[in-house]
Amino acid sequence: MPVNERNTSLLDRRAQWLEHYQPRLHVQERGSVVSVGDGITWISGLPSAAMEDVLLFEEGSRAMVFDLNKDRVGAILLYESPDLTAGTAVRLARHRLGIAAGDVFLGRVVDPLGNPLDDRPRPVSQSRQSLEAPSPPIVAREFVHQPLYTGIKIIDTLVPIGKGQCQLIIGDEGLGRSSIAIDAVVNQRGKDVCCVYVLIGQKRSAVINTIATLRQQGALEYTVIVVAEASALPGLQYLAPFAGCALAEYWMAQGRDTLIVYDDLATHARTYRELSLLLRRPPGREAYPGDIFFVHSRLLERSTCLNADHGGGSMTALPIVETQQGEIAAYIPTNLISITDGQLYLDKGLFVSGFRPAIDIARSVSRIGGKAQHPNIRAEAGTMKMDYLQFLELEVFSRFGQRLEASMEARIRRGRIIREILKQERLSSLSAEFQYAWLLAFNEDLFQDDAPDAVTGLLALLQKKVPGTHLTLDSGRQLWLQAIKGWLEDERGG
């Protein structure tokens, strides 16, 4: 079209538009900050604000509505500019909080709003996930049926975890809770599981260590780390697990397997308590707000195993919680125990005595993982577990120095062997085939001596030989046993 004609048609259209134009009233609420401090703010003049609405402040700050009063709104700050003071104008953004999601996040360290913390450009993605989302309905769920190997002997054999399970890691400070979670993430290398590691309210040194470990182990390629460290705004610390969950949900909806670690939810509960008390909500037990159970249950219920009609993805969750003096009956630990599908209990006595990972078998349970365990491993582990639990009881008696029958002595000797076997350094992942091999060797009494050297000797032999064998978990007991005996003869003969 020639330029002149195009200009006239444009003018015509504008004239038409002006002819039909009707002025309309566009109402926008304009609130104003009443007070601000400690990561929260009170705002007046926003009568239509709803819970979880995002608020935009004139000078650039952002917040999320967290409490509604008759005449004012309480909000948690998500970004606080230095210029934020009483009197600043506020408007509603008319949307809820979300985070971009997708494979661009793999290998990245981000804050709960998806902003990069690793000096690289912001990860950009068309897909967005809402931080708060309903958990999948029952009809979309499948029974947990596939194992998720952590590479840790004591877990994969005695307290196995299945894909889609929510397994709590509970124990006092410094007993190796994070190490177990990191090991589980590291063991997913090459297994097509996307991992999310959420660090809530941790010291910067702990954050740096976790990132460095995952990077060194080559685990960052398939992992995204969501960080709200101790110095971050409490609002961000509160949102961190929801952001991590939203990222994992994206992959789960695509039919992929995911693993998410919440490190840790005791700190998260304390942050929520702090925010609630600042916003003058009525305190309940241990001064936690009454809905803390709901906060954690709606978070953890989002991890599940979807059925084939819904893509067949899964989200396995490893929430971590800290106890004080081993007190698992405190409010937050009992809440979490009742929400999750089992727990790994770490014991101080075991840790000090050198039994690491310090998982106390008598107090740890996996309510659904056993069904997902490979039937051959389950059969062998069942026998071993009975031996071990009997040994723990017998050992108490043997401490009194009584003379024991020969059969008892033999049981104690076998128990000591298991205890030696179950010790494992961190970051030393072991394959499922290896786990089967040592279980078989133990059940067939091939570990003849309970001296630590003898036990580690045979384990080292298995570790050397198992990767080279063509046998799989389905190969059958006899073939495996023949192979193991063959290796032993070669070793002893040579």
Ligand X SMILES: Nc1ncnc2c1ncn2[C@@H]1O[C@H](COP(=O)(O)OP(=O)(O)OP(=O)(O)O)[C@@H](O)[C@H]1O
Rounded to a whole number of angstroms, the minimum distance from the CB of residue 264 to Mg ion is 7
Does position 419 interact with ligand X (CB under 6 A)? The reply is no
Amino acid identity for residue 431 in this structure: S
Which SS3 state, helix, strand or coil, does residue 422 take? helix
Smallest distance, ligand X to C-beta of residue 355, A: 9
Task: For residue 376, state whether it binds Mg ion (rule: CB under 5 A).
Answer: no
Token pair listed for 444: 């067939």
- Report the distance separating Cα 162 and Cα 315, nearest Å: 10
Residue 136 interacting with ligand X (CB under 6 A): no
Rule CB under 6 A: choose which of 179, 188, 366, 429 binds ligand X: 179
Amino acid symbol at 149: Y
- Decide: is 435 part of the binding site for Mg ion (CB under 5 A): no
Q: Is 176 in the site for ligand X (CB under 6 A)?
A: yes
> Which positions from 134 to 173 touch Mg ion by CB under 5 A, shown as an x/- string?
----------------------------------------
**Of 176-184, 211-219, 309-317, 321-329: span binding Mg ion (CB under 5 A):** 176-184
Phi/psi at 118 (nearest 5 deg)?
-115, 25
Q: Does 178 bind ligand X (CB under 6 A)?
A: yes
Q: First-to-last CA distance in the chain?
A: 92
In 3D, which of 423, 415, 492, 483 has the Cα closest to residue 459?
A: 423
Q: Which of 281, 298, 363, 367 is catalytic?
A: 367
Would you call 36 helix, strand, or coil by DSSP? Answer: strand
Enumerate the H helices of 254-330 as residue ranges.
Answer: 265-278, 292-300
Sole binder of ligand X in the list 363, 371, 426, 477 (CB under 6 A): 426
178 near Mg ion, rule: CB under 5 A: yes
Shortest distance (Å) from residue 210 CB to Mg ion: 8
Residue 367 annotated as catalytic? yes
CA-nearest of 242, 373, 259 to 315 is 259
- DSSP 3-state assignment of 447? coil
Least Å distance between CB 333 and Mg ion? Answer: 15
Q: Which does 426 bind (CB under 5 to 8 A by kind): Mg ion, ligand X, none?
A: ligand X
Q: How far is the CB of 251 from ligand X (least distance, A)?
A: 25
Q: Is 340 in the site for Mg ion (CB under 5 A)?
A: no
213 binds Mg ion (CB under 5 A): no
What is residue 96's three-state secondary structure?
strand
Q: Rounded to an integer, what distance in angstroms lies between the CA atom of residue 252 and that of residue 310? A: 10
311 φ/ψ sector (left φ>0, alpha ψ -120 to 50, else beta): left
Q: How far is the CB of 263 from Mg ion (least distance, A)?
A: 6
**174 near ligand X, judged by CB under 6 A:** yes
In the sheet that holds 193-200, the strands lie side by side as: 109-110, 223-228, 193-200, 257-263, 314-322, 168-171, 342-346, 365-366
User: Judged by CB under 6 A, does residue 364 bind ligand X?
Assistant: no
| Number of alpha helices (DSSP H) and beta strands (DSSP E) in the chain | 15, 16
Contact positions with ligand X (CB under 6 A) in 318-347 = none
Contact footprint for ligand X (CB under 6 A): 173-179, 356-357, 424-426
Catalytic residues: 367
